[in-house]
Amino acid sequence: MRLIACVILLAACGGSEADRLGIGAQCSNTDECDGSTMQVCLTQFAGGYCGLQGCTHDTDCVEDSACIAHTDGQHYCFRTCVDKVDCNANRDVNNESNCSSNTTFVDGANGRKACIPPSSGI
């Protein structure tokens, strides 16, 4: 019964497990990301990006996120999306992410997209 109440509450708020944990959230350092899930702040993105570090497959990521091979040679769980609105629950308008298929999914894209903010230029 408690599980049903949690699912209903999460759905009513329009959030997902990825949003609740702040995957894809804006950050300026790792301390601003959810430390209980080994998230790190990827500062090469405008506004930073909280990504769950160390995934090897999508099964290592929470609902509405996927394992992405990043250009730094590491794998991170990134927020998945259907449209841009899915990407910005935890970001301000100046640092919005885009919903993009132009990324490398570890387990294959399978028609999915991920939330990717613009590069910070550093």
Q: Residues 1-52: pLDDT tens digits?
A: 332 333 333 333 457 899 999 999 999 999 999 988 889 999 999 999 999 9
Residue 8 domain flag: no
**pTM higher than 0.95:** no
**3-state SS record for the chain:** CHHHHHHHHHHHHCCCHHHHHCCCCCCCCHHHCCHHHCEEECCCECCCCEEEECCCCHHHCCCCEEEEECCCCCEEEEEEECCHHHHCCCCCHHHCCEEECCCCECCCCCCCEEEECCECCC
Residue 122 domain flag: no
Q: Looking at the 3D structure of the chain, how many domains does it have?
A: 1
- Grade residue 121 by pLDDT with cuts at 50, 70 and 90: low
Residue 86 domain flag: yes
Residue 81 domain flag: yes
Q: Residues 46-76: pLDDT tens digits?
A: 999 999 999 999 999 999 999 999 988 999 9
Which residue segment(s) compose the domain that 88 sits in? 17-116
Residue 104 domain flag: yes
Residue 58 domain flag: yes
